């Protein structure tokens, strides 16, 4: 999709050109950058990247906390003709090694502390390592500028790694157009403006986390990145930086609503947005009481197609559990098991069509074919659609409601977690012979990770050793909340471990 003459689709780095020169654009620990300074920093980082990695389309990974590098890289890499691979700063060496190898990254820019955690063999031979502060210093010392990109909007701009229900994380390929239209879409339905200030608490390696930057800059607004330690840090930042927009996942909203917010601080917020899991009726009620002047946007999305739906804030009180309707630039269809448009109240699969659909999984045609299929005949866009695997229903008013997931993905604290990744890590310790990771409903996390294992030996220390070894190999959000030890695993008719029975036993 090329957009209209009034709203053309441009290369991603052109987002840096939209704000007023002297208006705030990015609040860093070192100081505040206005939009003119943002453009300069993007231009210089892009020039340095183009010199250091001259091959167009090369992948460049970043692995760092929120700061100048992680905020500028989406635009700077795009301007340099490179493909950005942002790595979640919470990941540990094994997951980082997989992403570097799978993406074929030619450069990794990371903090020195994270680089020290890498082990022999984690970084492929072709991947050059550069420390974060050195990269930024070299870019400024070079003192060169790179003109805005003339790339085709359909060119690849980023690979975002997301976990599937089985196997290791897979890289979703996003074009300039995907990300530009995603920014435009969210800025449109959130009604963002040049005087808005977004507190970016979501990881910038997530699709919506990165969109916090892009949609705010599309609107000419300001971003305040925050790696918070405690929920109170969020409240303090809202007051300190006059924040108008806050996006979070349900577990954080639960914690935010437990704080004693001064009325004048709560009143600063114009809009609240939720992603990464459904809001409960009780949580919606608490948020509406605490932030009565803010519009609350409930949203649904998947990395493979960015956002898909949002609920009009005017309907949140009367339809608190609805996913809403399609966002701008998206077409969302509910397809029943016969491959037809589902009737009102009939369960079907959510199918996302249109220009927000990503380009598939990086170097993985098999899994791409499973999820990216021809659009249903009823689609006005046609082409390729994302068949989400999520089951939904549509009511008589056209509002969508989530029914359940077809796969076994664990969704905890806004993170999509592959059960197999946890199981593989447990088995690799040599302490267990069998392992099953499950998601169990949890009020704060959405789902908590439970790990069911059978010991590989009678070693008396195994129950103490397994959590310690998992802590070394898995990021915090993948750590099991509970480990269940079994002498044997239930087996189904097919001879495989009966996961459904284990799930029922643990959830009981």
DSSP string for 148-197: PP---TTSEEEEEEE--SSSS-EEEEEEHHHHHHHHHHHHHHTT--TT-E
Q: How many helices (H) and strands (E) does the chain have?
A: 15, 25
Q: How many domains does the chain have?
A: 1
pLDDT confidence of residue 1: 44
Distance separating the N- and C-terminal Cα atoms of the chain: 49
Phi and psi at 285, nearest 5°, equal: -60, -45
Whether 157 is covered by a domain: the verdict is no
Residues 471, 480 contacting (CB under 8 angstroms): no
| 32: number of Cβ within 10 Å | 13
Whether 181 is covered by a domain: the verdict is no
Residue 282: which H helix or E strand, with range? helix 281-290
Dihedral of alpha carbons 323, 324, 328, 333, sign: positive
CATH number, domain with residue 442: 3.30.300.30
pTM reported for the whole predicted model: 0.88
Residue 402: which H helix or E strand, with range? strand 400-405
Question: In terms of residue numbers, what domain contains 501?
Answer: 410-507
Residue 98 φ/ψ region, left for φ over 0, alpha for ψ in the -120 to 50 degree band, beta for the rest? alpha
pLDDT confidence of residue 452: 97
Q: What is the 3-state secondary structure (H, E, C) of 125-149?
A: CCCEEEEHHHHHHHHHHHCCCCCCC
d(CA 160, CA 86): 7
Whether 274 is covered by a domain: the verdict is no
Query: How would DSSP label each residue in 76-92?
Result: HHHHTT-EEEE--TT--
Shortest CA distance to 179 belongs to which of 197, 161, 201, 154? 154
Whether 416 is covered by a domain: the verdict is yes
pLDDT confidence of residue 433: 86
Residues 186, 211 contacting (CB under 8 angstroms): yes
Query: What does the pLDDT profile of the chain (508 residues) look like in tens digits?
Result: 445 666 799 999 999 999 999 999 999 999 999 999 999 999 999 999 999 999 999 999 999 999 999 999 999 999 999 999 999 998 999 999 999 999 999 999 999 999 999 999 999 999 999 999 999 999 999 999 999 999 999 999 999 998 755 567 899 999 999 999 999 999 999 999 999 999 999 999 999 999 999 999 999 999 999 999 899 999 999 999 999 999 998 888 989 999 999 999 999 999 999 988 788 888 999 999 999 999 999 999 989 998 999 999 999 999 999 999 999 999 999 999 999 999 999 999 999 999 999 999 999 999 999 999 999 999 999 999 999 999 999 999 999 999 877 667 788 998 888 888 899 899 889 899 889 999 999 988 999 999 999 998 777 789 999 999 999 999 999 999 999 999 999 977 656 788 889 999 998 8
pLDDT confidence of residue 278: 82
d(CA 2, CA 9): 5
d(CA 138, CA 214): 25
Phi and psi at 146, nearest 5°, equal: -120, 130
DSSP-derived 3-state class of residue 102: helix
Task: Please list the helix, strand and coil fractions of the chain in percent, rounded to the nearest 5, in that order.
Answer: 35, 30, 40
DSSP-derived 3-state class of residue 243: coil
pLDDT confidence of residue 420: 81
Whether 67 is covered by a domain: the verdict is no
Whether 485 is covered by a domain: the verdict is yes
d(CA 182, CA 304): 12
Length of the chain (residues)? 508
d(CA 305, CA 185): 13
Whether 374 is covered by a domain: the verdict is no
d(CA 270, CA 247): 11
Whether 59 is covered by a domain: the verdict is no
Residues 6+ apart with CB under 8 A from 318: none
């Amino acid at each position: 999709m090329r957009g209209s003459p009034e709203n053309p689709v441009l290369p991603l780095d052109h987002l840096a050109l939209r704000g007023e020169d002297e208006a705030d654009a990015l609040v860093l620990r070192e100081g505040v950058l206005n939009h003119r300074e943002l453009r300069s920093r993007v231009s210089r980082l892009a020039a340095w990247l183009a010199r250091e990695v001259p091959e167009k389309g090369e992948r460049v990974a970043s692995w760092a906390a929120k700061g100048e590098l992680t905020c500028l890289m989406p635009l700077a890499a795009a301007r340099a003709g490179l493909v950005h691979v942002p790595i979640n700063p919470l990941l540990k060496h094994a997951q980082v090694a997989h992403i570097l190898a799978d993406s074929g990254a030619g450069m990794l820019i990371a903090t020195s502390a994270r680089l020290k955690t890498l082990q022999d063999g984690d970084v492929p031979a072709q991947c050059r390592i550069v420390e974060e502060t050195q990269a930024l210093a070299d870019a400024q010392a070079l003192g060169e500028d790179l003109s805005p990109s003339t790339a085709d909007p359909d060119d690849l701009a980023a690979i975002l790694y997301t976990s599937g229900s089985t196997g290791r994380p897979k890289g979703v390929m996003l074009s300039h157009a995907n990300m530009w239209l995603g920014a435009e879409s969210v800025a449109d339905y959130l009604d963002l403006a040049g005087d808005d200030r977004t507190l970016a608490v979501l990881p910038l390696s997530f699709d919506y986390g990165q969109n916090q930057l892009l949609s705010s800059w599309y609107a000419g607004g300001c971003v305040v990145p925050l790696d918070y330690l405690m929920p109170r840090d969020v409240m303090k930042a809202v007051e300190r930086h006059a924040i108008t927009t806050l996006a979070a996942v349900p577990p954080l909203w639960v914690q935010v609503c437990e704080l004693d917010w001064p009325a004048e601080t709560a009143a600063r917020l114009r809009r609240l947005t939720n992603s990464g899991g459904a809001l409960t009726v009780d949580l919606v009620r608490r948020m509406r009481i605490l932030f009565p002047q803010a519009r609350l946007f409930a949203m649904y999305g998947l990395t493979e197609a960015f956002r898909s739906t949002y609920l009009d804030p005017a309907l949140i009180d009367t339809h608190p559990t609805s996913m809403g309707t399609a966002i701008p630039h998206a077409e969302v269809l509910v397809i029943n098991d016969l491959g037809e448009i589902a009737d009102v109240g009939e369960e079907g699969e959510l199918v996302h069509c249109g220009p927000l659909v990503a380009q598939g999984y990086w170097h993985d045609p098999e899994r791409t074919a499973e999820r990216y299929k021809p659009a249903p005949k009823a689609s006005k866009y046609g082409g390729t659609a994302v068949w989400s695997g999520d089951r939904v229903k549509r009511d008589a008013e056209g509002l969508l409601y989530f029914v359940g997931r077809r796969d076994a993905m664990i969704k905890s604290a806004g993170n999509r977690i592959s059960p197999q990744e946890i199981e593989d890590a447990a088995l690799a310790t040599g302490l267990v012979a069998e392992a099953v990771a499950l998601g169990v409903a949890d009020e704060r996390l959405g789902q908590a990770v439970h790990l069911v294992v059978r010991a590989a030996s009678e070693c008396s220390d195994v129950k103490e050793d397994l959590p310690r070894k998992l802590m070394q190999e898995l990021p915090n959000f993948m750590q099991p909340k509970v480990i269940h030890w079994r002498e044997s695993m239930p087996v189904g008719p097919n001879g495989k471990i009966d996961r459904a029975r284990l799930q029922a036993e643990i959830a009981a």
